[in-house]
Amino acid sequence: MRQVRTMNRHYGWVLVAAGAVITCVAMGAIFALPVYLQPIATDTGWSRAGISAAMTIGFVAMGIAGFGWGALSDRIGARPVVLIASGLLVAGLILASQARDLWVFQCAYGALVGGSGGAFFAPIISATLSWFDKNRGLAVSLVSVGGGIAPMVITPVASLLIDAAGWRSTMLWIALAALVLLIPASLLLRRAPAPLAADTVGPARQPGSAALTALRTPHFIVLAATFFLCCAAHSGPIFHTVSYAMICGASALGAATIYSVEGVAGLFGRLIFGTLSDRFGARRVIIGGLALQAAGIFSYIYVSELTHFYLLALVLGAVYGGVMPLYSVLAGAYFPSRVMGTVLGGMTLTSSLGMAFGPLGGGWLYDTFGTYHWLYIASASIGLAAAALALVFPAPPPPAEGPVGALTAA
């Protein structure tokens, strides 16, 4: 019996590895669209705005569908949800690769591919949290590492394949490769064999009732609002900093490598912040990270040399890469695992809306004032608001109290 418990405990790390592979492949396939942009425009004559609109549709679809995927995973588990979404992802890529009309491409890539993307966060993180009562921060951060690695793996591969065989064949091959990798990895996703102690207090309620209760608690409202402000703060700088660096005199290639520096820093940030959260608590680490993020964003108004852009990219990449997974860890301390998919799905929706504000708002500020300085001032202010709101995070409640107790009480 002791051996079975040990095997069950260790299987959580197998799930972490599977989750990292799934998020790497899926997110890499979804967010490779910028690599396809110029080849598609050259081949089809479609406008860049029209092609890019597929990604806008994808963000909206990802946020809305993410809530549904999360709620569904509470009822049927992560494995079937991720399997279904993997099929939709592959189907969307295949249809997009063969599209002859722009609207077909937008529907295939935006609705199908983007909508499937919402299933690769809430269900997998929810399943991960159910396996760990210790080392949660590290486990969730390791799952999210896949999303950080994706741009450094899938994007260069796609670029090389496009040069060799064209964008249609490349998108088709990536779809088939995703199918081969996602299906076996998805089959490794399992429910935890027994609920954690926090989930066993009191008689169980119906999942739907418990989920609605969770979404109405102050804990969820503050958590989701902070997540929204955090994403709204860094989305504009992420999207516009390459353009800003080029205005400051950096070459196109030099400016583009800022993203690579942020990606590498984000990998280390996930590991560092995940370990710190296990030691000091996710709540404290999030507050400190948000304050540091706001200071880093504001510093951009004093930057004009590429070396300084790289240094800030190291700091900000580590910070926002490290902080993002910790919202899930904090949610795991507030709510029982049986409603975690719904809770994380709701957070996916709010974070997607936050991410949508930055690029649009940054473009408007630049067009209006002729400088990016106001973008960084506004983003830093939003970042400070996120840090201030995080200060009112309630401490994680004991198992029989707070939102967990409310959801388990009769």
Domain residue limits, the chain: 2-191, 207-392
Taking the mean position of all CA atoms in its chain, how far away is CA 52? Answer: 20
Residue 136: per-residue pLDDT: 78
Q: Helix, strand, or coil here: 269?
A: helix
Instruction: Indicate the residue type of 351.
Output: S
Residue 5, number of CB atoms within 10 A of its CB: 11
Q: How far apart are CA 77 and CA 57, in angstroms?
A: 27
CA gap 407, 346 in Å, rounded: 17
Backbone angles phi, psi at 206, to 5 degrees: -65, 140
SS3 state at 139:
helix
- Furthest C-alpha separation in the chain: 68
Residue 195 has φ and ψ, to the nearest 5°, of -70, 155
Whole-number mean pLDDT of the chain? Answer: 82
- pLDDT-based confidence at 151, cuts 50/70/90? low
Q: Would you say residue 168 has pLDDT above 90?
A: yes
pTM of the full structure: 0.73
The matching CATH number, chosen from 3.30.70.920, 1.20.1250.20, 3.20.20.70, 3.40.50.300, for 2-191 is: 1.20.1250.20
Q: What's the rounded Cα separation, in Å, for the pair 211 and 194?
A: 20
What pLDDT was estimated at residue 252?
65
pLDDT at residue 387, rounded to an integer: 94
Supply the pLDDT for residue 202. Answer: 37
State which of 25-34, 72-81, 176-185, 339-348 shows the largest mean pLDDT.
Answer: 176-185
Structure tokens given for 28: 């890499």
Tell me which residue of 379, 355, 375 sits closest to 366, measured CA to CA.
Answer: 375
One-character DSSP codes across 221-266: HHHHHHHHHHHHHHHHHHHHHHHHHHHTT--HHHHHHHHHHHHHHH
Beta-carbon count within 10 A of 231 CB: 24
* Integer Cα distance of 183 and 215 in angstroms: 32
pLDDT of residue 9: 60
Inter-CA distances, 335 with 5, 63, 225, 389, 400, Å: 24, 21, 17, 20, 11
Residue 407 has pLDDT above 60, yes or no: no
**89 neighbors 182 (Cβ within 8 angstroms):** yes
Cβ neighbours around 142 below 10 Å, total: 20
Quick check: 223 and 330 in contact, CB under 8 A?
yes
- Average pLDDT for residues 344-370, to the nearest whole number? 81
**Spatial distance between the Cα atoms of 69 and 88, rounded to a whole number of angstroms:** 13
Say whether 207-392 and 2-191 share the same fold. yes
pLDDT digits (tens, 9 = 90+) for 266-304: 888 888 898 898 888 888 999 999 999 999 999 999 998
Q: Which CATH superfamily is domain 207-392 in?
A: MFS general substrate transporter like domains (1.20.1250.20)
Which of 56-65, 88-97, 364-373, 390-399 is least confident?
390-399
Q: Cα(69)–Cα(310) distance, rounded to whole angstroms?
A: 37
